[in-house]
Structure 1
Amino acid sequence: MNTALDFHISQTRRQFFQGAGLRLGGLALSTLMGERMLGAAEPASAQVHQPLPGFPHFAPKAKRLIYLHMNGAPSQLDLFDYKPQLQQYFDKDLPESVRNGQRITTMTSGQSRLPVAPSMFNFSQCGKSGMWMSELVPNIQHIADDIAMVRSVHTSAINHDPACTFVMTGSEVPGKPSIGSWISYGLGSVSNDLPSFVVFTPTFPATGNAQALFTRMWSSGFLPTSFNGVALRGQGDPVLFIKNPPGVDGSDRRTMLDALNKLNQRNFERFGDPEIQTRIAQYEMAFRMQTSVPGLTDLSDESEATLNMYGPDVKRMGSFASSALLARRLVERGTRVVQILHRGWDQHSGLPKNIKAQCMDTEQACAALVKDLKQRGLLDDTLVVWGGEFGRTVYSQGTLTKDNYGRDHHPRNFCMWMAGAGVKGGTVYGETDDFSYNIVKDPVHINDLNATILHLMGIEHSRFTYKFQGLDQRLTGVEEAHVVKGILA
């Protein structure tokens, strides 16, 4: 009796087409990794995901990535893109020669005017580089010489959901793998005891609009689901159902898991479904995390100086400060990619008050993370990326006064910064016009930025593909993307 054939015949058309892409997408991985994960020479419990053959393509500068995503789009005009000449344009209409017929959202298209709103915050030059930064980020000012500021990032999307999907997956269309999943798939895992890709979604101040965080931002898409990001919770147990139930100890769990793995392996041999291997790997990882996660979240071995550096909320699980410190502890223990997504930056009104609250919640910990990595020697091979999904307009949405204004979505240009492995600190790359509305020098598309991240991790983006739906899919899309060499050390 051909049980594998019977299994596939028994599936409905809908079940087949729902799972076909995933199964076909996983065949390459199962071929490459099946023997290493499940072979007789070494038990599954001793295995980690190995890099793909030939990866990395060249010696990497970065071994790990920490991505700090400010969801909702921080205002570049109020943080990093200093435009002092705007004061003379206060409450004057944005010149048509600047806008040049470019589209605006329906949230401001009905306004009779587009009044220019200069930032109400003071700026100063920081570090030896003299990089201009706002008073809203006093701690990031102290790491100016460690970061490369890119002022000319642009994107194709004008609304939050597609823009966030684009930043994280290289496409506005849902269903593609996130950058963390791509990197984990290509470079493999370092730690036996922690996931290769971990995600935090910390709480945020109760101000401003909170855009939804969809799991597609850390999903493996058409890659095998073993490369999904693992989200650690900020309240209660960091991972649900990881503890043994009452009356069950570690040896009992190990015996049960070994038996379950044998059953799953038999099913894999019968049906050839690579997702069975994913299930085995996830059970094994969960078993190891029963020991590793409590140690990860126990901050008793951190010095008071370190805790103070991250700020007063560092011991409050679920805070941004706590997430930043745990990010350092994760990469220290072998996690390949850590992603922190902080909400509440969508400020169409009341921007001065709301952006101040967001910065107070995050910027000290962002700076502390870079300093902490540096003093431990980890910044040399850890890449830190900070940014949002697009920028904000120079004109005010709604009522404008000298101390109150809002800003609409602006995909034409925004600021992101990078620090660490292979990055030229103290660098400012790209320029915008006097209204921070158009790029006038060195534009950097989101796909260029992702190509640069992959390059620093030893991956040639154009050679990093995965066959899906008849196409060689890439994180950087089908159009040509370029590594931003001007920010590389």
Structure 2
Amino acid sequence: MLPTPVSRRQALKSLGCGFGYLSAAALANRQAVASQPAPSAVDNPLQAKVPHLVPRAKRVIFLFMQGGPSHVDTFDYKPLLAKHDGEARAFDDARVLAKTKQITKHRVFQSPWKFKQYGQCGQSVSELFPHIGSCVDDLCFLKGMHTDGVAHGPSTLFLHTGSINLIRPSVGSWVLYGLGSENENLPGFVTLQPSMGNGGPRNYGNAFLPAHYQGTAVGRAGVAASQAQIRNLSNPLLSPAEQRKQFELLRQVNSLQLARNAGDQELEAVIQSYELAWRMQHNAPDRLDISDEPEHIQRMYGIGEKGTDDFGQQCLMARRLAESGVRYIQVNYGDNTNNPRWDQHSNLPRHADHAFNTDKPVAGLLKDLKQRGLLEDTLVWWGGEFGRTPYAQANGTGRDHNPYGFTIFLAGGGVKAGYSYGETDEFGHHAIQGKVHMHDWHATLLHLMGLDHERLTFMHNGRPFRLTDVHGEVVKEIFA
């Protein structure tokens, strides 16, 4: 049944309370944020909530390397690849097994790049990443990662949602659902320049969680970071005073509609989005505008330099959002083509281009967070959806997908610094020790944020759902 329309007389009567009441209500709402940890959706569903556990991190910055960087060419040094380069050896190729159920021989392919030990921890890092190499004493490497799915689409969805073939909420949405937002004037979950492929909006979607918890996309892959803004934040056709009057009228009409349709979550979400959008007009543009950053800070991120400028701008935006209280920030290094950037099946040397574009910006972000005291309670996560094979694909010049073993690295947020956990076999094909499945990593990330992955549930279609489904073990060995 359609809602009863609001008459002109009713609307004018409702507006009679005046702006003084509205100002007082807004002030009271801000003062109540800390005292009401579990408000109803009508009050403020994004209000900060009490975590299950003592949190080690307040926020996450996820640096997503779309396409699967090769771990054996970046951070997982395997000397035997050079020793046996060119030899034909049997490897259980994920794609071949899926088709033929047979283990075949492939040519061992040594890394084209040399490795060097960095820092007091002595972590081996490829010459592809000299800037990140200088930060290893602040990093925690997980070298026994493994995941589900052998293609980009399924594995990317699994990384972001914990599921391959079902529509599930993204990691950022679960975090926002569990903890709420630290800043009532900005979104609690932002994704910078996301790709439209391999999951697209599902990678930052809320699925069956209330719509308040979906991610806010800023820009999109393929568009310059300098153009990455939240659309329609300003209205050049109306003055600020006229916009204020328009908004106040809309607020009153929405309140009447909500009173007549209590419990309508979609309507509540729309109204909350209007409220947040209004507040964002006065806050988001400043947070995304990096022009007021000192020149030496911009240089730290590689801004203004060929190759590093675009991703450097994204990383600097991420820092500004983090210090403004955004709970979950994803920085995407990707594109909208069928061949994601790190996906070198036939031209592995292209890894050098992508490493160059991201090395200095990532290191700049890590150093900037540290010098500002933000790294202690910010969990930085770098990684892709899977790794690459230690052998040449089709006897060529590239590597195939490898979900059996790969590397991610972390920094800050309560993890051990200058530490390496887990390992792959002598060729870098399978995780064999300190194995961490993607479900385990999701459980660990939530734990670091103060959330118990088994208690963070949402009832949908008659059963409770969670990010890790019925899986996941917290990897406490990496906790500082």
User: 1:188 Cα deviation (Å)?
Assistant: 0.6
Give the counterpart letter for 1:350 in structure 2.
Answer: N
Opposite residue 186 of structure 1, the aligned amino acid is G
Aligned partners of 1:383, 1:237: CA distance in 2, in Å? 24
Amino acid paired to 1:259: L
Match in the other structure for 2:208: 222
Alignment of 1:433-448 (within 5 A): 433-448=425-440
Task: State the match for 1:75 in structure 2.
Answer: 70
Partner of 1:171: 163
AA of the residue aligned to 1:355: H
Does the Cα contact within 8 Å between 1:198 and 1:339 map onto a contact in 2?
Answer: yes
Q: Check conservation: 2:139, 2:409, Cα contact below 8 A.
A: yes
Alignment of 1:470 onto 2:462: yes
Question: Secondary structure of 1:94's match?
Answer: strand
SS in 1 for 2:454: helix
Q: Secondary structure at the match of 1:349?
A: coil
Alpha-carbon deviation of 1:268?
Answer: 2.1
1:293 to 280, 284, 288: 284
Cα–Cα, structure 1 residues 486 and 227, in superposed 2: closer, same or farther, change >3 Å? same
Task: Report whether the alignment pairs 1:431 with 2:423.
Answer: yes
SS in 2 for 1:74: coil
Partner of 1:27: none
Letter in 1 for 2:40: M
The reply on whether 1:355 has 2:345 as its aligned counterpart is no
Matched, 1:269 2:259: yes
Q: Partner of 2:403 in structure 1?
A: 411
Q: Partner of 2:23 in structure 1? A: none
Is contact 2:81-2:390 (8 Å) kept?
A: no
Map 1:237-386 onto structure 2 (within 5 A). Answer: 238-246=229-237, 248-272=238-262, 273-313=264-304, 319-343=310-334, 344-352=341-349, 354-386=350-382
- C-alpha deviation, 1:163, in angstroms: 0.5
Quote the Cα distance in structure 2 between the aligned partners of 1:297 and 1:440: 43
Q: Shift of the alpha carbon at 1:297?
A: 2.8
The CA deviation at 1:398 is 3.4
Gaps of 5+ in 1: 7-30, 38-47, 204-209
Q: Map of 1:114-133 to 2, 5 A cutoff?
A: 114-133=106-125
Q: Greater shift after overlay, 102-111 or 125-134?
A: 102-111
Instruction: Tell me what 1:89 maps to.
Output: 84
Q: Mark the CA change 1:363 to 1:202 in structure 2 (over 3 Å): closer, same or farther.
A: farther
Would the aligned equivalents of 2:190 and 2:216 in 1 still touch at CA under 8 Å? yes
Listed as ranges, the matches of 1:177-192 within 5 Å are 177-192=169-184
Aligned-partner residue type, residue 328 of structure 2: V
Question: What's the offset of the Cα at 1:239?
Answer: 1.5
Q: Deviations over 1:280-318 (max 9, x none)?
A: 111122222222122123324322221111003479999
Equivalent position SS for 1:347 = coil
| Range with bigger deviation, 74-83 or 467-476 | 467-476
Contact 1:33 1:50 in 2 (8 A): no
2:196 paired with 1:199: no
How far apart, CA to CA, are the structure 2 residues paired with 1:124 and 1:84? 12
Contact map agreement 2:136 2:418 (CA 8 A) in 1 = yes
Note closer, same or farther for the CA distance 1:289–1:346 as it changes in structure 2 (3 Å cut): same
Deviation at 1:61, TM superposition (A): 0.9
- The alpha-carbon deviation at position 36 of structure 1 amounts to 2.5
Partner AA of 1:329 in structure 2: R
Identify the residue that residue 51 of structure 2 maps to in structure 1. Answer: 56
Read off the aligned partner of 2:387 and give its amino acid letter: G
Tell me the residue number matched to 1:44: none
Q: Distance in 2 between matches of 1:59 and 1:142?
A: 31
Matching residue's letter, 2:297: T
Measure the CA separation in 1 of the matches of 2:131 and 2:70.
Answer: 18
TM-score of the two chains, using structure 2 as the length reference: 0.85
Counterpart in the other structure of 1:43: none
- Give the TM-score normalised by the residue count of structure 1: 0.84
Asked if 2 retains the 8 angstrom alpha-carbon contact of 1:390 and 1:410, the reply is yes
Deviation at 1:279, TM superposition (A): 1.1
The whole-number CA distance in structure 2 between the counterparts of 1:88 and 1:263 is 73
1:51 deviates by 3.6
**Structure 2: segments with no counterpart, 5+ residues:** 6-37, 220-224, 335-340
How far off its partner does 1:415 sit? 0.3
Contact 1:73 1:392 in 2 (8 A): yes
Q: Deviations over 1:56-89 (max 9, x none)?
A: 0121110011011111100001001101122121
How far residue 32 of structure 1 moved from its aligned partner, in angstroms, is 4.3
Matched, 1:232 2:218: yes
Distance 1:244 1:110, change over 3 A: farther
> 5 Å matches for 1:8-157?
32-37=39-44, 49-52=46-49, 55-95=50-90, 99=92, 104=96, 114-157=106-149
Q: Hey, what's the Cα distance between the residues in 1 that align with 2:228 and 2:135?
A: 34
Seen in structure 2, the aligned counterparts of structure 1 residues 428 and 108 have a Cα distance that, compared at 3 Å, is farther
Q: What's the counterpart of residue 450 of structure 2?
A: 458
Task: Output the CA distance in 2 between the equivalents of 1:327 and 1:119.
Answer: 32
The separation in 2 between residues aligned to 1:102 and 1:167, in whole angstroms, is 18
- Give how far 1:474 is off: 0.7
Contact map agreement 1:268 1:274 (CA 8 A) in 2: no
- Whether the aligned pair in 1 keeps the contact of 2:193 and 2:228 (CA below 8 Å) is no
Mark the CA change 1:315 to 1:270 in structure 2 (over 3 Å): closer, same or farther. Answer: farther
Aligned to 1:16: none
Q: Which amino acid aligns with 2:239?
A: D
Q: Distance in 1 between matches of 2:467 and 2:399?
A: 30
Higher mean alpha-carbon deviation, 384-393 vs 257-266, is at 257-266
Whole-Å Cα distance in 1 between the matches of residues 322 and 228 of structure 2? 20
Segments ≥4 residues shifted beyond 3 Å: 2-6, 101-113, 210-213, 234-237, 312-318
In structure 2, the CA distance between the partners of 1:284 and 1:211, relative to structure 1 (3 Å rule), is: closer
Task: Tell me the equivalent position of 1:25.
Answer: none
CA contact (8 A) 1:265 1:276 kept: no
Judge conservation of contact 2:290–2:316 (CA < 8 Å) in 1.
Answer: no
